[in-house]
Chains A and B, each alone.
Chain A
């Protein structure tokens, strides 16, 4: 569909947003009828519970963290290792927390009935993984590099390559769903979802780095991406609650 209204797809940078995503970012069209219009109501800290669920090891199955070994054969595409640590704002590891990922295949197609992008499905790739962080807060997945794909947001719209991440942390106020990108993607500058994070320094936090130490010789390229789960992820600071 054509971009018909007055708003540009990508707005200028604005460091004042910090790590906050602009939830009503106009260039991302699906926000329009879905994002709450009224101000959020602040709940004082004393009135919400801080503890989250406990996920047991039993929920993680063999090959859940290796998306290249979930079928009879290997998926097509560039095999990669994606690893990093889940940390709190003090840089301390968040241990034993569930990390879930999902992604398109190497051709840029999701195994989902709604995705009608005319690129091939891969019978050897489901595109979902999960693991628990270890004692250092580290997660590790083996997968293939996802392809870019077109989406209907505006004319000639393509998403940068990305892997979706879901994280829990020790309490529900740290819950985070986000996307990990790959360094140097030429589609960054055109993507309203990426640019809804208005602070360019904060956007960099969504981009993994190529890591030769993670790269396995004769086997797979390595990417490193740390994830920091902050409390008050909806924009307040802890000071307001004191």
Chain B
């Protein structure tokens, strides 16, 4: 027997009341081995920052999780460490995007720029064309990882379903 699942509704503009009561953007402690900042901007189809979004970063295998609201410039930030890779796959974080205007959250992934060989062999990344792959790989920037999320447009981030 199957029970119908509850539909999704938007997180709306006021999620911070319930979901950002305290900072939860550290998947690992700042002084943990391999800890690095992951920063970026959430950008809409007109190139404008989304200032009322919420990003979740999941290292499901490592049971690590964090979330970050976006600020007036659409910026989010996390403290992350590179997760252990699954066999045959490149290390990555799963990322969920929530915002006003998104009736259901969107799923994407961020990969690591110093894993070129593993990224090239990753079964999900290698199934995409080069321009799309680039939307999922962070860049090194001033000692941090920089990764922007573009909801629409020519350089739109690849979003997944599962």
In the complex, what's the smallest C-beta–C-beta distance from B121 to chain A, in angstroms?
Answer: 13
Complex alpha-carbon distance, A45 and B11, angstroms: 26
A178 lies within 8 A of B8 (CB): yes
Say which one of B29-37, B58-66, B140-148 lies at the interface with A. Answer: B58-66
Residue of A48, A110, A171, A233 contacting most chain B CB atoms (<10 Å)? A48
Digit string of A86-122 for contact with B (CB within 8 Å is 1, else 0)? 0111110000000011100000001110110000000
B6 lies within 8 A of A22 (CB): no
Q: Knowing A53-B63, A175-B96, A179-B9, say if A31 contacts B4 (CB, 8 Å).
A: no
Inter-chain contacts of A82 with B (CB < 8 A): none
Inter-chain contacts of B19 with A (CB < 8 A): 100, 102, 166
In the complex, what's the smallest C-beta–C-beta distance from B27 to chain A, in angstroms?
Answer: 10
A47 lies within 8 A of B7 (CB): no
Say which one of A34-42, A73-81, A132-140, A211-219 lies at the interface with B. Answer: A34-42
Contact of A91 among B1, B61, B123 (CB under 8 A): B1
A60-83 residues with Cβ-Cβ distance < 8 A to B are none
A89 lies within 8 A of B2 (CB): yes
Query: Which A residue's beta carbon lies closest to that of B54?
Result: A177
Q: Knowing A30-B100, A33-B44, A34-B44, say if A51 contacts B5 (CB, 8 Å).
A: no
In the complex, what's the smallest C-beta–C-beta distance from A27 to chain B, in angstroms?
Answer: 11
Contact of B162 among A21, A35, A229, A236 (CB under 8 A): A236
Say which one of A1-9, A182-190, A202-210 lies at the interface with B. Answer: A202-210
In the complex, the number of residue pairs spanning A and B with C-beta atoms less than 8 Å apart equals: 217
Contact of B7 among A21, A52, A88 (CB under 8 A): A21
Complex alpha-carbon distance, A128 and B17, angstroms: 6
The size bracket of the interface on B is: 35 or more
Inter-chain contacts of B44 with A (CB < 8 A): 33-34
Contact of B5 among A23, A32, A230 (CB under 8 A): A230
Q: Answer whether residue A161 sits at the interface, using C-beta atoms and an 8 A cutoff.
A: no
Inter-chain contacts of A42 with B (CB < 8 A): 160-162
Contact of B156 among A36, A48, A87, A179 (CB under 8 A): A36
Contact of A90 among B2, B17, B64, B86 (CB under 8 A): B2
B96 lies within 8 A of A164 (CB): no
Contact of B105 among A37, A50, A177, A227 (CB under 8 A): A177
B11 lies within 8 A of A228 (CB): no
Inter-chain contacts of A206 with B (CB < 8 A): 6-7, 9
B18 lies within 8 A of A102 (CB): yes
Inter-chain contacts of A25 with B (CB < 8 A): 103
In the complex, what's the smallest C-beta–C-beta distance from A46 to chain B, in angstroms?
Answer: 9
Please give 10 more A-B residue pairs, beta carbons under 8 A apart, in addition to A114-B52, A115-B13, A177-B105. A25-B103, A30-B101, A32-B101, A34-B101, A36-B106, A38-B159, A51-B61, A51-B63, A52-B63, A102-B15
Residue numbers of A with Cβ under 8 A of B are 18-23, 25, 28, 30-38, 40-43, 45, 47-54, 87-91, 100-102, 110-112, 114-115, 126-130, 164, 166, 171-173, 175-179, 193-194, 196-197, 201-203, 205-206, 227-230, 232-236
The 7 closest A-B pairs by CB, nearest first: A102-B18, A230-B5, A30-B101, A49-B60, A34-B101, A234-B161, A53-B65
14 A-B contacts, Cβ less than 8 Å apart? A37-B152, A40-B159, A41-B128, A50-B60, A51-B61, A89-B4, A114-B52, A127-B18, A171-B60, A177-B11, A178-B9, A206-B6, A233-B8, A234-B162
